[in-house]
């Protein structure tokens, strides 16, 4: 007898694949003259990636892509969904067959040699230029590794002008001399650099000892350009520390990028002498300077300025804000809403009403919908 | 152009589609509408295989599916959890209606009840009919959908075996009722609950209250974990908490580690084949999947048996290995070693010789075994001890 056919028939499931804004992983094989062979890479583009646009995205290079790529893209997709980090392009390099030789170093100099140096050059001279040519990548690059590859990424710090601005090292298997050399190198870094290091209380004990020593070295370095964070996770081993560490690393690196939260609003925006709008401008300039790419003003931050302007009765800030909203979000209800708020604050109810009404035809946003505009309209009409 | 020529990177788009996310449209009678699903099958999923897979249902699939999929992929790579089927339900603008609840009980009503029925009576049966699913079902929910997943605990037999609550926004008396329900559960349930010090304060408070209530529960069937992540918000806590939850829920499935060996196996009373058989029976029982004991684990057990100077376990593990994989030389080798060490030389030689015709395994290859036989033959010649055959 057929197993419960009626049940199967009850719900007709059509398995249609449809295009949407969601991202898919691109699998490519890249032929490398440095390596003298080809390599499998995996690429994840941001949701809604448009090759014709002029937006540039940070590039995240993931070694040991065989197993590290997926948890990284899961986190990048999630945290950029909530605006806690910029949308980014992620490339993973598969190394399962070549790991030992790729990540090897000389027994004498303790720097990459032979296969190790070929792999080093492959990333710097082939993979990154390739990604830059083909995709909209910014100059802000991060490199991620685990175990042997977490050690290897440190070699990139010894270049005069390092290729990467962010280094994420999960339980590195640290090579001889590395600790000393980093101790000498880190104080001389000239560009803003982020470094994340993690171990766990059940990590491989020989690795852990060296990691703790490396942490001591980092902790002793006084270079304002170096932004460093260390985690020693409780109840985590060599592998489980990765899932715990990724969000910590991301949040550390993109701390400045985050939308304005309650704390920043209270402590920084409200108290900023030149007013909340100027605070916003400064914040976004800092972001551009720090990360080397522009951030579109997010609605959350516009709301924060409006709240602060109203609270402090700062009409100028509200005026500037309504202009900014109009410039950045002309197709959205955002532009009409903040223009209305400005005129309302200025006492020009007629113009406020006009703006709210014109907004009804525009697109809803995350925070503003038709009902909100209608409420505003009825409010003003009631007053008249 | 020079730049392009510099590295002659010929680009080949290769057609390997490795575990891509499938998107399906599901026509639901209960909801009277169509729902989008994201489905991720295990990397080498074979519909004709007998292998069964746990199912992880992810609510708010538009943003929560990807981090779950990433974590699962990482853990399965190291065999730290079974290969699983992940299903994300896209909710988008329907979220408010999907999560609709009774103000007093926090349980789904009206459109919320319909969404509940869709999951329990349509989606899960569909998945069970279409894919090789095991009985082990996991629900993942964040915020108000975290409240929602708890309602599945209240059916006569809970719909899910594991509940991953990521900063759930408990409504009405849900938190209190969950603690009561967990107290008289008969089925084994994993319950994971997380908040953070930077969480929305009302949510943080009610989670702490619920945690206090659940900690008072004394029920063997319940495995409970709680985390308060430091320095995280209602949103940033999600991925770290997910990795913790997955790690904990599938702890039993993981290969033997240092800790288990020292704390449980070394002091185990009885022979080690019993220990490992029980352990794997429990995996089978809990997750509804068959996991073979790996050769690595057999090796580890032999090592521990040697450390315990427990010759009987060496023999029994050999026998168990033989039963599981009669073609490999492994089991026979250790049975022979046992015979050798107990002085039954003749039997040892016989067993070693029979091991020779079996498949090599790691260091136990033909040469290795031959070396043993030669050594033993010498011993035999020198001492001329006749051993009675058999045990």
Give me B15's structure tokens.
Answer: 């057609």
What is the tens place of the pLDDT at every residue in A268-302? 999 999 999 999 999 999 888 888 788 889 999 99
Task: For residues B21-28, give the mean pLDDT.
Answer: 93
Distance of alpha carbon B320 from alpha carbon B334, whole angstroms: 10
What is the tens place of the pLDDT at every residue in B188-222? 999 999 999 999 999 999 999 999 999 999 999 99
Is B272 strand, coil or helix?
helix
Task: For residues B4-33, give the mean pLDDT.
Answer: 63
Of A13, A125, A243, Cβ closest to residue B71: A243
- Could B17 and A27 be called an inter-chain contact, meaning their C-beta atoms sit closer than 8 Å? yes
- Could A133 and B4 be called an inter-chain contact, meaning their C-beta atoms sit closer than 8 Å? yes
Name chain B contacts of A26, Cβ cutoff 8 Å.
13
The per-residue pLDDT for B6 is 33
Choose the mutation target among B25, B87, B236 for the interface with A, i.e. most A CBs under 10 Å: B236
- Could B9 and A30 be called an inter-chain contact, meaning their C-beta atoms sit closer than 8 Å? yes
- Could A246 and B239 be called an inter-chain contact, meaning their C-beta atoms sit closer than 8 Å? yes
Distance of alpha carbon A262 from alpha carbon A268, whole angstroms: 10
Distance from CA of B267 to the nearest CA of A (A): 21
The per-residue pLDDT for B18 is 57
The per-residue pLDDT for B12 is 31
User: Percent of chain B having pLDDT more than 90?
Assistant: 65
The per-residue pLDDT for B362 is 64
Distance of alpha carbon B298 from alpha carbon B255, whole angstroms: 11
Is it the case that residue B388 has pLDDT exceeding 80?
no
Distance from CA of A200 to the nearest CA of B (A): 13
Name chain B contacts of A7, Cβ cutoff 8 Å.
125, 129
What is the tens place of the pLDDT at every residue in B175-185? 999 999 999 99
Is it the case that residue A17 has pLDDT exceeding 60?
no
Distance of alpha carbon A127 from alpha carbon A291, whole angstroms: 21
Name chain A contacts of B255, Cβ cutoff 8 Å.
none
Whether A66 and chain B come into contact, CB under 8 Å, resolves to: yes
- Could B243 and A244 be called an inter-chain contact, meaning their C-beta atoms sit closer than 8 Å? yes
Give me B262's structure tokens.
Answer: 């020292």
- Could A18 and B63 be called an inter-chain contact, meaning their C-beta atoms sit closer than 8 Å? no
Per 3-state DSSP, chain B is made up of helix, strand and coil in percentages (nearest 5) of 50, 20, 30
Distance of alpha carbon A218 from alpha carbon B255, whole angstroms: 35
Distance from CA of B343 to the nearest CA of A (A): 39
What is the tens place of the pLDDT at every residue in A77-129? 999 999 999 999 999 999 999 999 999 999 999 999 999 999 999 999 999 99
Name chain A contacts of B232, Cβ cutoff 8 Å.
247, 251
The per-residue pLDDT for B345 is 84
The per-residue pLDDT for B380 is 55
Whether A68 and chain B come into contact, CB under 8 Å, resolves to: yes
Name the residue in chain A with its Cα closest to that of B31. Answer: A11
Whether this prediction's pTM lies above 0.90 is answered by no
* Owner of token pair 């990139």: A156
This complex has an ipTM of 0.83
Q: Which of A49-53, A199-203, B336-340 has the lowest mean pLDDT?
A: B336-340
What is the tens place of the pLDDT at every residue in B325-364? 888 888 888 888 888 888 888 888 888 888 887 777 666 7
- Could B233 and A261 be called an inter-chain contact, meaning their C-beta atoms sit closer than 8 Å? yes
Helical spans, DSSP H, in chain B: 2-6, 61-77, 95-98, 111-117, 124-130, 144-150, 174-183, 201-215, 237-249, 258-260, 272-287, 295-307, 311-324, 329-341, 345-356, 366-383
Choose the mutation target among B4, B67, B86 for the interface with A, i.e. most A CBs under 10 Å: B67
At B3, the pLDDT band (50, 70, 90 cuts) reads very low
Distance from CA of A73 to the nearest CA of B (A): 7
What is the tens place of the pLDDT at every residue in B129-151? 999 999 999 999 999 999 999 99
What is the tens place of the pLDDT at every residue in B46-57? 999 989 999 999
Please say whether the beta carbons of A291 and A137 come within 8 A.
no
The per-residue pLDDT for A292 is 79
Please name which of A160, A157, A141, A189 lies closest in space to residue A291, comparing C-alpha atoms.
A141
Phi, psi angles (nearest 5°) of residue A58 = -60, 150
Name chain A contacts of B8, Cβ cutoff 8 Å.
31, 33
Name chain B contacts of A202, Cβ cutoff 8 Å.
257-259
At B19, the pLDDT band (50, 70, 90 cuts) reads low
Choose the mutation target among A2, A64, A74 for the interface with B, i.e. most B CBs under 10 Å: A74
Task: For residues B66-70, give the mean pLDDT.
Answer: 97
- Could B233 and A244 be called an inter-chain contact, meaning their C-beta atoms sit closer than 8 Å? no
- Could A27 and B80 be called an inter-chain contact, meaning their C-beta atoms sit closer than 8 Å? no
At A7, the pLDDT band (50, 70, 90 cuts) reads very low
The per-residue pLDDT for B344 is 85
Distance from CA of A91 to the nearest CA of B (A): 15
Whether A96 and chain B come into contact, CB under 8 Å, resolves to: no
Is it the case that residue A149 has pLDDT exceeding 50?
yes
Q: What is the mean pLDDT of chain A?
A: 91
Interface contacts A/B by beta carbons within 8 Å: 169
What is the tens place of the pLDDT at every residue in A221-270? 999 999 999 999 998 999 999 999 999 999 999 988 888 988 889 999 99
Is it the case that residue A16 has pLDDT exceeding 80?
no
Distance from CA of B149 to the nearest CA of A (A): 20
The per-residue pLDDT for B334 is 86
Name the residue in chain A with its Cα closest to that of B21. Answer: A24
Of A13, A73, A81, Cβ closest to residue B26: A13
The per-residue pLDDT for B339 is 86
Name the residue in chain B with its Cα closest to that of A85. Answer: B236
Give me B309's structure tokens.
Answer: 């100077």
More confident residue, B49 or A15: B49
More confident residue, A41 or B10: A41
At B374, the pLDDT band (50, 70, 90 cuts) reads confident
Task: For residues B78-87, give the mean pLDDT.
Answer: 95
What is the tens place of the pLDDT at every residue in A208-226? 999 999 999 999 999 999 9
What is the tens place of the pLDDT at every residue in A322-375? 999 999 999 999 999 999 999 999 999 999 999 999 999 999 998 999 999 999
User: Percent of chain B having pLDDT more than 70?
Assistant: 91
Q: Which of A253-257, A313-317, B82-86, B114-118 has the lowest mean pLDDT?
A: A253-257
Helix axes B237-249, A240-253, angle to 10 degrees: 180
Q: Which of A11-25, A129-143, B99-113, B178-192 has the lowest mean pLDDT?
A: A11-25
Q: What is the mean pLDDT of chain B?
A: 88
């Amino acid at each position: 007898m057929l197993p419960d056919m009626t049940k199967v028939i009850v719900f007709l499931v059509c398995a249609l694949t449809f295009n949407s804004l969601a991202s898919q992983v691109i699998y490519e094989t890249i032929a490398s003259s440095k390596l003298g062979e080809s390599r499998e890479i995996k690429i994840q583009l941001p949701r809604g990636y448009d090759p014709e646009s002029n937006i540039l995205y940070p590039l995240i290079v993931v070694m040991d892509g065989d197993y590290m790529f997926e948890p990284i893209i899961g986190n990048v997709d999630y945290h950029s969904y909530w605006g806690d980090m910029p949308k980014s392009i992620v490339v993973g390099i598969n190394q399962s067959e070549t790991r030992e030789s790729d990540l090897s170093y000389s027994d004498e100099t303790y720097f990459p040699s032979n296969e190790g140096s070929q792999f080093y050059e492959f990333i710097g001279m082939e993979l990154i230029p390739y990604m830059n040519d083909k995709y909209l990548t910014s100059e802000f690059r991060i490199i991620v590794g685990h175990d042997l590859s977490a050690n290897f990424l440190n070699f990139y710090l010894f270049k005069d002008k390092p290729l990467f601005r962010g280094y994420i090292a999960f339980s590195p298997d640290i090579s001889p001399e590395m600790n000393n050399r980093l101790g000498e190198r880190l104080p001389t870094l000239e560009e803003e650099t982020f470094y994340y290091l993690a171990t766990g209380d059940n990590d491989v004990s020989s690795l852990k000892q060296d990691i703790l020593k490396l942490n001591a070295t980092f902790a002793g370095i006084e270079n304002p350009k170096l932004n460093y964070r260390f985690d020693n996770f409780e109840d985590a081993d060599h592998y489980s520390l990765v899932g715990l560490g990724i969000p910590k690393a991301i949040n550390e690196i993109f701390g400045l990028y985050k939308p304005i939260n309650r704390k920043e609003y209270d402590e920084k925006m409200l108290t900023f002498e030149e007013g909340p709008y100027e605070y916003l401008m400064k914040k976004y300039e800092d972001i551009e300077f720090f990360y080397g790419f522009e951030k579109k003003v997010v609605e959350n931050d516009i709301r924060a300025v409006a709240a602060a302007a109203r609270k402090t009765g700062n009409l100028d800030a509200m005026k500037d804000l309504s202009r900014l909203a109009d410039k950045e979000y002309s197709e959205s209800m955002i532009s009409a809403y903040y223009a209305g708020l400005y005129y309302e604050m200025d006492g020009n109810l007629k113009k406020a009403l006009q703006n709210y009404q014109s907004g009804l035809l525009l697109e809803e946003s995350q925070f503003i919908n038709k009902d909100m505009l209608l409420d505003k309209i009825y409010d003003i009409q009631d007053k008249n | 152009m020079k730049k392009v020529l510099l590295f002659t990177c010929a680009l080949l788009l290769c057609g390997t589609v490795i575990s891509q996310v499938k998107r399906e449209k599901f026509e639901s009678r209960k909801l009277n509408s169509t729902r989008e699903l994201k489905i991720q099958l295990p990397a080498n999923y074979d519909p004709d295989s007998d292998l069964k897979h746990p199912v992880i249902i992810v609510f708010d699939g538009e943003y929560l599916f990807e981090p779950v999929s990433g974590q699962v992929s990482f853990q399965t790579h190291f065999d730290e959890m079974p290969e699983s089927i992940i299903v994300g339900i896209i909710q988008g603008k329907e979220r408010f209606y999907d999560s609709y609840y009774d103000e007093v009980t926090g349980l789904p009503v009206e459109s919320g009840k319909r969404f509940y029925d869709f999951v329990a009576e349509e989606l899960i049966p569909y998945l069970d009919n279409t894919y090789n699913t095991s009985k082990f079902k996991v629900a993942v929910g964040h915020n108000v959908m975290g409240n929602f997943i708890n309602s599945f605990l209240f059916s006569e037999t809970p719909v899910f075996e594991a509940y991953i609550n990521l900063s759930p926004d408990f409504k009405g008396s849900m938190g209190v009722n969950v603690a009561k329900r967990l107290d008289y559960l008969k089925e084994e349930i994993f319950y994971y609950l997380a908040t953070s010090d930077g969480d929305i304060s009302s949510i943080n408070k009610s989670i702490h209250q619920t945690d206090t209530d659940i900690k008072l529960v004394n029920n063997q069937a319940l495995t409970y974990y709680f985390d308060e992540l430091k320095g995280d918000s209602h949103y940033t806590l999600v991925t770290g908490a997910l990795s913790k939850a997955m790690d904990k829920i599938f702890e039993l499935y993981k290969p033997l580690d240092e800790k288990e060996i020292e704390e449980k196996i070394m002091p185990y009373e009885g022979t080690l084949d019993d220990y490992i058989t029980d352990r794997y029976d429990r995996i089978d029982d809990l997750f509804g999947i068959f996991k073979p004991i790996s050769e690595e684990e057999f090796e580890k057990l032999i090592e521990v048996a040697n450390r315990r100077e427990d010759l009987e376990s060496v023999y029994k593990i050999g026998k168990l290995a033989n039963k599981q994989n009669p073609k490999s030389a492994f089991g026979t080798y250790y049975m022979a070693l046992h015979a050798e060490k107990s002085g039954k030389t003749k039997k040892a030689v016989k067993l070693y010789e029979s091991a020779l015709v079996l498949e090599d395994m790691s260091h136990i290859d033909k040469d290795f075994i031959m070396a043993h036989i030669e050594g033993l033959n010498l011993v035999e010649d020198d001492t001329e001890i006749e051993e009675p055959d058999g045990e």
